[in-house]
Structure 1
Amino acid sequence: MATATKHEAIADAVLDAIGGAGNVKSVTHCATRLRFQLVDRDKADKAKVEATRGVITVMESGGQFQVVIGNTVSDVYQAVIRHDGIAAGESTSSGGLMARLIDLVTSIFTPFLWVLAGTGLIKAALAVATAIAPSFGDTSTYAIFYAASDATFQFLPLFLAVTAAKKFKANQWAAIAIVGALLYSETIAVIANAEGVDVTLKAFADGGGELTFFGIPVLMPAYLSAVIPAIFAVYVQSKVEHLLDRVMPESIKNFINPMIVIGTVVPFTFLVIGPLSAWLGDGLAWVVDNLWALSPAVGGALLGAGWQVFVIFGLHWALLPLFMVGLTTVGYSLLTGPLFAAVAAQGAAAFAVFLKTKNKDLKGVAGPASLSGIIAGITEPAIYGVTLRLKKPFIYGVIGGAVGGAIAAIGGSAAEGFVLPSALTVVSTINIGNFTLQLIGTGLAMAIAFSLTFFLGFKDLPATEPEAEAPDAIEAGDVVIASPVSGTVIPLAEVNDKVFSSGALGNGAGVLPTSGTITAPIDGELVSVMPHAYGIRTASGVEVLVHVGIDTVKLDGKHFAPKVAQGEQVAAGQVLAEVDLAAVTAAGYDTTTLVIVTKAPETHSVAVRAEGAVAGTGDLLTVAR
């Protein structure tokens, strides 16, 4: 039987809990969240979604049902949109102005966010390399790496053309042509200057040349890296296209519409959108710089304290345009300096919880969450799974972020290029402002958050009780599941397969077999039969999966000899298949045989009854009330 991946299992469970694929109007995702627009909110069971393994929490904001997944959100998103009737990347927001702004920003920037962050890491590494060896900056190797890191940012408008066209329902190829014309003005020499040398339109205008369009003066701002002109140009394009689609005859619209759209929107952008966007961008940059200049310490403290609060409600996306304005005008934004302290402080608070809590489940969440926050800059697992859940650690993290953010801001620190603030990317601030103060601020933020959490403490969750031993007696109504093979019992969490060990498919156990005879662990109907996997449904509705080996589906049945067929009724102990274990092992596959309860009554739980050696047909699991 083909098994769903971990991400598919999460996606299926989430869709089931929100009312099925038919209840999804649209879905997008950002760095850590699935953002659903639902047809009927009342059909969604929030508690059931939050109880899904792999889901951190659920937030509702701006008309969106937001399911926080964490780092693997893009994989779960792909698993969601594989369902018929769910469109990829389309989202509309019926909320207020802020909700619509956040929806717009996430829809346009999220698809290439990780590429932008990845190239930002390359640029950060180059900054470290040249700080250690300044001569490296003069080599061609440096130049090639710099091209790799800077190209995405310089030609960012082309990325925006694609995603904005998708958002505004415009022709993507026409959008690329329009935005490409803007970049062309700075990259290709097409007009002779006063000396008779061909130069770009931008160089011609900057050199004092009279640039006009049918006699109308054309101002030529910088379009490389420009965000606002590209988005507005595609928005205008979408309106022109929608108008032409209504009036243009079908016989000629395929080639006439692009001609008219490109031929009108490009000049309109050069004449109107570009200059207005440049004025807007310069104005925003002026406002930010002057407000920051009044008191960088206060600004840094407010941003360092508030950043993680913004993250909770998804409001941090509303600040992204302000970051991008700074990045596209001077190469950095002072608003980014305090963020490293804010992020690191939450990670440090979560790490203190990891060390102090007596609850094993909380400890299991806090450890990975702290690393995700500190190293990768993704704090949702730490916030929702640990600090906000316990309240005080979140507050301690906010305090640390405020102090560290103020120190970083006093030093004028900022990230060079676009990065997610983390321990790995703090080196992106090495060339902007006082790097020492950035390190002091970030380190002090972590120390404050960790110390307050560890020494002042928090109201811990009740200590996890040790798992009760399986009772010797079988109670009435319990379902007993036997081992399908003789061998050694392996706890499910130790199985060398993330899908099974995570419990995404259900609870159970593994058995490292010593015999190749695979038997039915229970009476029931064979609902699925593959050479390596067998699904059995009991009369009471319990469903059990027997999966022989890890990734053995790739063997295409080789070395497996099934003895049953789908639809048959089998009795416990009846032979399902004979397997050549030596041959499977020689082929490079783990022969661990999984016994998973894939479906059971909600009032029942699965317990492992055996440990160590187990005989074939010996009791392995119980499904008990």
Structure 2
Amino acid sequence: MDFKQLAKSIVEEIGGVSNISQVSNCSTRLRFDLKDHSLINEDKLKKIKGVAGVVNRGGLFQVIIGTEVSHVRDEIEKLGNIVQLDNTSSKNKKGIVNSVLDVICGSVTPVIPAFIAGGLLKAVLSLLLLAGLVTKAGQTYQLVNTIADAAFYFMPILVAYAASKKFNCSPILSMTVAAVLLHPNLIAMKVAAVPVHFFNIPVVMATYSSSIIPSILAVWLLSYVERFAEKVVPKMLKVFLKPLLILAIVAPITLIVLGPIGAIIGDGLTNIFLFLDQLGTWIVPTVIGFIYPLLVMTGMHWSLMPVFLQELATNGYETLSGPGALASNTAQAAASLCIAIKSKNIEKKQLAGSVGFTALMGITEPAMFGITLTDKKILLCVMTGGGIGGFFAGISGLVRYAPGGASLPTLPLYIGDNPRNIIYAVLTLLISFVSTFVLTWLFGFKEDKIQEA
């Protein structure tokens, strides 16, 4: 693939470099903050070779590329200076929900490689434990477990760095404020269980390790305080007075107000899903398995991450996202591979086979925008198959022991204390695949109904 030409073609159809305020990417999508959405030519954009789809919703503009998206983003950045502008300068106002999702995505996406590395390392450690090569009491196990846990424990600092890029403020000061939340002295005060006050103002002692929301709120505040400090501090004093003013304002407010609020939000969302689990372990995985394509299509699947990471930190496993997503992603692969086998159109067979294999590896957007979203019947088969697989995951009690994807290559993430859990994960994958494949073969696929993406 010619990444340079692809980047140039995309930029031309979104109004040129001058129309881009910010560009970033997740595992498969380019994410643009554009100054004027009226300059976008979606019809031509969708026809560009290498573009799997476009999402333009509520002020959020995304171009689906695939697993090589980072190379395209690099080439886009080489086309010219992309000036980071205040969001207020944009002609395209985002709604509250879309703005929140955009911030969460921008703050969490860059940190995902660390989560994946830590999660897979935990899976390897579980295999070594099952093989009897290490013991939990041994130093080797403890050291490797520490390495694997580092990204999760220090998540507030990692998220703060990513959020600083989103809010266009100081990464170092953002990380410093987040580090305050994890300072050993603060932890000791919480363990001591005695009232803590800051100039007679009570400070709620919360646990911030593995949290996301408190850091995002802190960096959001810091972005405003930094701009204020930039205006009021004399130029000759900025070197030392500006960072002092920022830290002296943001850190206490974070400890007294934003941190506890973020912790309450995170705990509250987690408790909602724990309540649903108590009503029936099948409810959440079935619902997630069914609606996950819609969540991914709109980018709302990122809203689940703070909750399931909090559940992981609390319980050592999560049931909110992993089981249902495993069923849904497998369903995307099954529908695409079914079409690859059944279709008589050579181009359609090649496309469906390629994106089907990619979906089986955990990257579903090419399959969604290239195949399953092109016909409502196929999409319904995918959602139904995902729901069936999610239902089995729920009644079997399937859990995911670490974040890092929901696909065939990440099955080791389901290895943990319960030796049957990995068996349930494999069965979930098989049930979702077979049910979706059969449904698509019998009811979903009609040659004359499939339109080119």
TM-score where L is the length of structure 1: 0.66
Does structure 1 residue 448 correspond to structure 2 residue 419? no
Does structure 1 residue 382 correspond to structure 2 residue 367? yes
Does structure 1 residue 122 correspond to structure 2 residue 121? yes
> Unpaired runs of 5+ in structure 1?
186-199, 464-625
Equivalents in 1 of 2:444, 2:380: separation in Å?
A: 12
Equivalents in 2 of 1:176, 1:42: separation in Å?
A: 37
Q: Aligned residues: percent identity?
A: 31
Equivalents in 2 of 1:89, 1:423: separation in Å?
A: 41
Equivalents in 1 of 2:167, 2:187: separation in Å?
A: 29
Decide which moves more: 390-399 or 428-437. Answer: 428-437
- Change in Cα spacing, 1:273 to 1:101, as seen in structure 2 (3 Å) is closer
Amino acid aligned to 2:74: Q
Aligned partner of 1:392 in structure 2 is: 377
| Equivalent position SS for 2:363 | coil
- Change in Cα spacing, 1:56 to 1:202, as seen in structure 2 (3 Å) is same
Structure 1 residue corresponding to 2:331, chosen from 342, 345, 351: 345
| Equivalent position SS for 2:24 | strand
Amino acid aligned to 1:146: N
Equivalents in 2 of 1:219, 1:462: separation in Å?
A: 59
Check whether the contact 2:289–2:386 (CA below 8 A) recurs between aligned residues: yes
- Change in Cα spacing, 1:373 to 1:89, as seen in structure 2 (3 Å) is farther
Q: Highest CA radius of gyration, 1 or 2? A: 1
Q: Residue 390 of structure 1: CA displacement? A: 4.3
Does structure 1 residue 32 correspond to structure 2 residue 28? yes
Check whether the contact 2:211–2:306 (CA below 8 A) recurs between aligned residues: no
- Change in Cα spacing, 1:39 to 1:170, as seen in structure 2 (3 Å) is closer
Aligned partner of 2:281 in structure 1 is: 296
Equivalents in 2 of 1:236, 1:13: separation in Å?
A: 37
Check whether the contact 1:373–1:379 (CA below 8 A) recurs between aligned residues: yes
Q: Residue 311 of structure 1: CA displacement? A: 1.2
Aligned partner of 1:48 in structure 2 is: 44
What is the 5 A alignment of 1:64-213?
Answer: 64-87=60-83, 94-133=93-132, 135-185=134-184, 200-209=185-194, 211-213=196-198
Decide which moves more: 65-74 or 275-284. Answer: 275-284
- Change in Cα spacing, 1:88 to 1:407, as seen in structure 2 (3 Å) is farther
| Equivalent position SS for 1:332 | coil
Equivalents in 2 of 1:254, 1:203: separation in Å?
A: 33
Amino acid aligned to 2:121: I
Q: Residue 215 of structure 1: CA displacement? A: 4.5
Q: Residue 55 of structure 1: CA displacement? A: 0.7
- Change in Cα spacing, 1:438 to 1:205, as seen in structure 2 (3 Å) is same
What is the 5 A alignment of 1:225-374?
Answer: 225-336=210-321, 337-374=323-360
Equivalents in 1 of 2:389, 2:49: separation in Å?
A: 35
Does structure 1 residue 15 correspond to structure 2 residue 15? no
Check whether the contact 1:160–1:231 (CA below 8 A) recurs between aligned residues: yes
Amino acid aligned to 1:26: Q
Check whether the contact 1:25–1:36 (CA below 8 A) recurs between aligned residues: yes
Q: Residue 325 of structure 1: CA displacement? A: 2.7
Check whether the contact 2:25–2:70 (CA below 8 A) recurs between aligned residues: yes
Decide which moves more: 7-16 or 421-430. Answer: 421-430
Equivalents in 1 of 2:157, 2:305: separation in Å?
A: 18
Equivalents in 1 of 2:42, 2:13: separation in Å?
A: 8
Equivalents in 1 of 2:85, 2:432: separation in Å?
A: 37
Q: Residue 89 of structure 1: CA displacement? A: 11
Equivalents in 1 of 2:275, 2:64: separation in Å?
A: 36
| Equivalent position SS for 2:391 | helix
Amino acid aligned to 2:106: S
> By percentage of residues, which structure has more strand?
1
Equivalents in 2 of 1:116, 1:202: separation in Å?
A: 23
Map Cα deviations across residues 384-404 of structure 1 (whole Å, 9 max, x no partner).
Answer: 112222443332221111011
Equivalents in 2 of 1:259, 1:462: separation in Å?
A: 63
Equivalents in 1 of 2:122, 2:310: separation in Å?
A: 19
| Equivalent position SS for 2:282 | helix
> By percentage of residues, which structure has more helix?
2
Equivalents in 2 of 1:251, 1:230: separation in Å?
A: 31
Check whether the contact 2:134–2:141 (CA below 8 A) recurs between aligned residues: no
| Equivalent position SS for 1:338 | helix
Check whether the contact 2:111–2:159 (CA below 8 A) recurs between aligned residues: no
Aligned partner of 1:621 in structure 2 is: none
- Change in Cα spacing, 1:266 to 1:64, as seen in structure 2 (3 Å) is closer
| Equivalent position SS for 1:229 | helix
| Equivalent position SS for 1:415 | coil
Check whether the contact 2:337–2:352 (CA below 8 A) recurs between aligned residues: yes
What is the 5 A alignment of 1:534-613?
Answer: none
Equivalents in 2 of 1:440, 1:75: separation in Å?
A: 36
Equivalents in 2 of 1:115, 1:207: separation in Å?
A: 32
Decide which moves more: 344-353 or 112-121. Answer: 112-121
Equivalents in 2 of 1:25, 1:89: separation in Å?
A: 6
- Change in Cα spacing, 1:461 to 1:145, as seen in structure 2 (3 Å) is farther
Tell me: higher relative CO, structure 1 or 2? Use CA pairs within 8 A at least 6 residues apart.
Answer: 2
Map Cα deviations across residues 173-197 of structure 1 (whole Å, 9 max, x no partner).
Answer: 1112211222223xxxxxxxxxxxx
| Equivalent position SS for 1:264 | helix
Equivalents in 2 of 1:361, 1:72: separation in Å?
A: 21
Map Cα deviations across residues 541-573 of structure 1 (whole Å, 9 max, x no partner).
Answer: xxxxxxxxxxxxxxxxxxxxxxxxxxxxxxxxx
- Change in Cα spacing, 1:224 to 1:38, as seen in structure 2 (3 Å) is closer
Structure 1 residue corresponding to 2:395, chosen from 389, 410, 417: 410
- Change in Cα spacing, 1:88 to 1:215, as seen in structure 2 (3 Å) is closer
- Change in Cα spacing, 1:231 to 1:331, as seen in structure 2 (3 Å) is farther
- Change in Cα spacing, 1:218 to 1:26, as seen in structure 2 (3 Å) is closer
| Equivalent position SS for 2:56 | strand
Equivalents in 1 of 2:344, 2:119: separation in Å?
A: 39
Equivalents in 2 of 1:307, 1:440: separation in Å?
A: 19
| Equivalent position SS for 1:296 | coil
Decide which moves more: 200-209 or 420-429. Answer: 200-209
Amino acid aligned to 1:453: T
Amino acid aligned to 1:378: I
Amino acid aligned to 1:365: L
Q: Work out the number of aligned pairs and report it.
A: 444
Aligned partner of 1:611 in structure 2 is: none
Q: Residue 265 of structure 1: CA displacement? A: 2.3
Aligned partner of 1:63 in structure 2 is: 59
Check whether the contact 1:12–1:80 (CA below 8 A) recurs between aligned residues: yes
| Equivalent position SS for 2:182 | helix
Map Cα deviations across residues 277-314 of structure 1 (whole Å, 9 max, x no partner).
Answer: 22222222111211232233233221111001211222
Q: Residue 132 of structure 1: CA displacement? A: 3.4
Check whether the contact 2:276–2:283 (CA below 8 A) recurs between aligned residues: no
Structure 2 residue corresponding to 1:420, chosen from 388, 405, 410: 405
Check whether the contact 1:407–1:441 (CA below 8 A) recurs between aligned residues: yes
Equivalents in 2 of 1:23, 1:250: separation in Å?
A: 32
